[in-house]
Structure 1
Amino acid sequence: MEQGNNEKQLKGLQGINLTLFLRLELFMNALDTLGNTKWRVNKKVLSIISQIWSNGGRLADLVDRQDVPFPVEPNTTDESEIRKWKWKVKTVKKENNERHSQRCDIELKLAVARKVKDEEGFYYPHNLDFRGRAYPMHPYLNHLGSDLCRGILEFAEGRALGKSGLQWLKIHLANLYAGGVDKLSYEGRIAFTEDHLDDIFDSADKPLEGGRWWLQAEDPFQCLAACINLSEALRSPTPDITISHMPVHQDGSCNGLQHYAALGRDKLGAAAVNLVGGDQPADVYSGIAARVLEIMKRDAEKDPQTNPNALHARRLISQVDRKLVKQTVMTSVYGVTYIGARDQIKRRLKERCAIEDDSELFAAACYAAKTTLIALEEMFEAARSIMSWLGDCAKLLDGFQKSFPTLKFPPLPERGDFDLREVLESPYFFN
């Protein structure tokens, strides 16, 4: 919220009734709480990142500091060969532009971290977006940023771990390692961490010279920070009273679909996004990926002469996993279109160098996007019907003033019999 002598803002505040003002006060208090949280730089992790970066990057998802070399122009008059060369030049230019952008981003983040690394602590003022979500106002280095940012930052004011804190630190490390480990029960994640203590100690002691187990993690720099913190605690004669500065992140299981499952009283959808209890957390992305794989296996058995999707399915079967479909599933509740889904999946396939020919890559991405959206509709039928209903209402309201006398909303979608009180029984509502 803007401060100072802003006339428009002051006039707006004058017209606010007491109830709304009290609600605003709650928001302000929440923002004050976030803004009063003191942070500092984890110097050990920053030192490792700086070392990797000075050696050219290319580790732990850091971009290569060197550009991709341009292909040599062919000594030929063959137009098809010249076209291929021009296309490769265009691709290399695009790749180098992206690398340049990523290098600038990393340099900015590291510059800020180096500037404040010797400070006892610093604070992040927050503001709210139009949805009411709170974000730090500093754009480069903040605790909602990339793995690099989160790995560098820690709480300035430490707390004794206690017995539960030590257990949560083990769960947190397993979550950061991911690769399916984060979908185990809490007990399973603790067991995973305890089974890899040698790797954890090695990562903490010799992050670049040892076995470098931490680099296998989905969030490598956060995993390294957790390895260092857990090693310090376990080597202490009294782990429970070891002071920890480690933030333990928790997140909802695809919040958008959680809301739709609750609105539609959809028990099947609710189970997929952890609104109901279970022995271990459900993973909606893996569920969609499994359904996509089923459809593709069925298509792969068909005759390519009569069904062109058979070839795409055969190419993509080995590529289907939760990461391929995750972004599309996440954005489906915000109205992602087929074109958006196609571009998302195309980027994932390109990152893996799964299909070299660009036209084949495009066609495969088209097929994968359609299949993913079909799987989503099958698994979240209630969510899709509510989204369609809201879309129909929005179209009606677009011409609200003209059609007001005769305005009729479409009938509400049918709701399931899921009892919302069951939500309180789920240990994995936040996973």
Structure 2
Amino acid sequence: MAVLEWYKLPAILVKPLSMRIHKFLEKTKRKNAMNKNPEKETEPVAKAEDRLRKKVNVLMKKQKLHQVREIVKHHDGSKPWGQDAQVKVGCRLIQIMMETAYIQPPVDQFEDGPPDIRPAFVHTLKTVETQRGSRRYGVIECDPLVRKGLERTAKHMVIPYMPMLVPPLNWTGYDRGAYLFLPSYIMRTHGAKQQREALRRCPKQQLEPVFQALDTLGSTKWRVNKRVLGVIDRIWASGGRLADLVDRDDIPLPEEPDTEDEREIRKWKWKVNNVKKENSERHSQRCDIELKLAVARKMKDEEGFFYPHNLDFRGRAYPMHPHLNHLGSDLCRGILEFAEGRPLGNSGLNWLKIHLANVYGGGVDKLSHEGRAAFAENHLEDIFDSADRPLEGRRWWLNAEDPFQCLATCMNLSEALRSPSPETTMSHLPIHQDGSCNGLQHYAALGRDKLGAAAVNLVAGEKPADVYSGIAARVLDIMRKDAARDPASDPNVLRARLLINQVDRKLVKQTVMTSVYGVTYIGARDQIKRRLKERCAIEDEAELFSAACYAAKTTLTALGEMFEAARSIMSWLGDCAKVIAMENQPVRWTTPLGLPVVQPYRKLGRHLIKTSLQVLTLQRETDKVMVKRQRTAFPPNFVHSLDGSHMMMTAIACREAGLNFAGVHDSYWTHACDVDQMNKILRQKFVELYEAPILEDLLDNFQKSFPKLKFPPLPERGDFDLREVLESPYFFN
């Protein structure tokens, strides 16, 4: 055990934990076997199993994996343990660990007395007061010395689902594909029984496009950018604090004041609580970074690796490895690059410059393509300095919104520009093309909404339209009209005058983004209140609340005007979901790629399990659906199933065209030299997706599934020509 190794505890003081666990599991296995076949003798079975095990070992050494799989498949008569059995075995293993693992301080901490040998883990019951009364919780407490040792490194972490060094198995069924030996499921159902059954019943032919898309994403080969990882390691070793890396040191707790003044004591306690909260957050962030860096260091010398993908219940694709992947933070994206390099070519060099502006941000990413390329050309000295002396030079790259991605781009761009033939320079860097408020793009296409389409770049323009600035401008117009009226007639007049100088894209951005997810008035009010509080614009708490109420109402009005079709479709989807949920049925539909989706929201019941440690209370799904959750979640879930379909359609087409492709929901990645071709494909697939009668098919599906229910009529739609998307340069950019 690692704890015993760290602190060099004498072996005589420790019971052999692994032996105890092995004996316990063998005893459990024999007991289960006897319960299944009480009349059979166990000795012949054990000899047969021993012979079979030897045969499997020989085949494994000869790398005859197919024969091994066939043997295991035909001789594995065991069934998965149920939740009760897993919990009981898990608790017993924890109990064995507590009985076995001991700790003692380092030798230099011994005083005159004998060494303090104590259990490394202790089980205690704690009482917590709640509004409904007191509740008791079981807690496994870790000795401070053990915890301190664990915090120094991430090496104790077990990460079974690592990136693969060989291409993942192609998906052929619900639980067949991806990893060679680890359990792999095509969807993360999280115990949702109906969703799992729907997938198992679905014909294989119907799911073939989904299989192809996941296979495409899993076949993309990645590698670690060693130069960027080296910079990150240096920053982390020196204490973090740069490029959004958390400080590796905690904030010291404030000293207790030498006073009896209750006000000062309360103030001190408030500061202590804030510092503890901040330190707790830092600890979580440090653990996250350590995990990511541990994987990066392990994979850095590999020629390449692969990320098997599966789906969430809505049909969005995710890498199965959870830590270092391209869906992660700027740290992850800066470290990762395509294993295959491709020459930049004429267009690729230009896209590399545009990509630099995109990851630099700060408003530069809102310029035209020409303006973004010019930004890179105007900062050549900074680019070269960042690539050559990332930490010793001017550190220009640290000013970027995505600093590590900016650094990786500077390195690739400087290499190309210094080459006698920039177009032939090999590039491994993924170039991103992102949708413009993608959820609203899908709503605008569904509703054939001209005004909404123009706001989210479904139509061509000289520069990208910024939907957040557009909404902010409309909010400002409304407030100016209100501010011009008589204050005696309307209290909002004073609020409008107070807020006119505060309205900008940042104030409304979060509300506009979450409008796709059905943000409520209360949600919008709280979002805007936080933005105003950050600016310290209004000191009085009551006035701040009133101003936030007014600003939220005005923002939602502006959204309703600009995206009228989107609001009507969202309302229609919610009404349909309510009709179904009132019959105690979950909302279910089939995506355009044939994936069956069942919303998992059901009421939870309590289930008690008596274990060797204590009685555990677990939650289980009941037969009753959550009506409100089914209704409010359906519009965003449905749109997410559409954006997932668009991404998978694009992935399949890119693979057929010979492109490397990676997708992060509404962000599509490929080599710089292939961006133009990917842009053409993704626009074609978007038009192809929405030329189908999606809402009509959905309503028809509802009516066939629930013939006795009455559903509202389809919302009215506009006359926007979808084929305009094909000519829009900033649809994805």
**TM-score normalised by L of structure 2:** 0.53
| Offset of residue 136 of structure 1 | 0.7
Distance 1:348 1:58 in 2: 25
What displacement does 1:264 show?
A: 1.9
**Alignment partner of 2:279: what SS?**
helix
* Cα distance in structure 2, aligned partners of 1:83 and 1:158: 60
TM-superposed CA distance for 1:86, in Å, is 3.8
* TM alignment of 1:106-185, pairs within 5 A: 106-185=289-368
CA distance in 1, matches of 2:220, 2:290: 25
Change (3 A) 1:73 1:287: farther
SS at match of 2:310: strand
Residue equivalent to 1:410: 712
Matches within 5 A, 1:221-300: 221-295=404-478
How much has 1:362 moved relative to structure 2? 7.1
Q: Which stretch of structure 1 is more off in the superposition, 210-219 or 282-291?
A: 282-291
Give the C-alpha shift of residue 374 in structure 1.
Answer: 3.3
CA displacement at 1:121 relative to structure 2: 1.0
Q: What CA distance in whole angstroms lies between the structure 2 residues aligned with 1:356 and 1:44?
A: 47
| 1:212 corresponding residue in structure 2 | 395
Deviation of the 1:243 alpha carbon: 0.5
Return 374-383 or 363-372, whichever deviates more. 363-372
Partner in structure 2 of residue 426 of structure 1? 728
Q: Note if 1:41 corresponds to 2:41.
A: no
- What residue number does 2:249 align with? 66
SS in 1 for 2:239: coil
Corresponding residue SS for 2:205? helix
Return the letter of the residue paired with 2:300: K
Q: Which residue of 2 aligns with 1:97?
A: 280
Deviation at 1:100, TM superposition (A): 1.7
Q: Note if contact 1:296-1:317 (Cα within 8 Å) is conserved in structure 2.
A: no
RMSD, aligned CA: 3.4
User: What are the Cα deviations for residues 149-195 of structure 1, in whole angstroms up to 9, with x where unaligned?
Assistant: 00010011101111111111111111111222212221121111111
Amino acid at match of 1:133: R
Instruction: Tell me if 1:330 matches 2:513.
Output: yes
* Higher gyration radius (CA): 2
Give 1 or 2: higher helix fraction: 1
Amino acid at match of 2:420: P
Match of 1:384 in 2: 567
TM-score (norm 1): 0.86
Amino acid at match of 1:385: S
Say which structure is richer in strand. Answer: 2
Deviates more, 1:86-95 or 1:34-43: 86-95
1:196 aligned residue? 379
CA deviations 1:188-220 (Å, max 9, x no partner) are 211111111111111111212222211121111
The letter of the residue matching 2:582 is G
Q: Which amino acid aligns with 1:2?
A: D
Distance 1:398 1:168, change over 3 A: same
Gaps of 5+ in 1: none
The count of aligned residue pairs is 425
8 Å CA contact retained: 2:480, 2:500 = no
Q: What is the CA-CA distance between 1:399 and the residue it aligns to?
A: 2.4
Q: Aligned partners of 1:66, 1:316: CA distance in 2, in Å?
A: 42
Matched residue SS, 2:712: coil
2:580 to 397, 403, 413: 397
Partner-residue secondary structure (3-state), 2:469: helix
SS at match of 1:23: coil
User: For residues 5 and 229 of structure 1, do their structure 2 counterparts lie closer, same or farther at Cα, with a shift above 3 Å needed?
Assistant: closer
Q: Is contact 1:301-1:310 (8 Å) kept?
A: no
Please tell me whether the aligned partners of residues 297 and 317 of structure 1 are also in contact (alpha carbons under 8 angstroms): no
Give the superposition deviation at 1:140: 0.6
- 1:2 and 2:175 are equivalent in the alignment: yes
**Structure 1 residue aligned with 2:670:** none
Unaligned residue ranges in structure 2 (runs of 5+): 1-173, 177-182, 186-192, 586-705
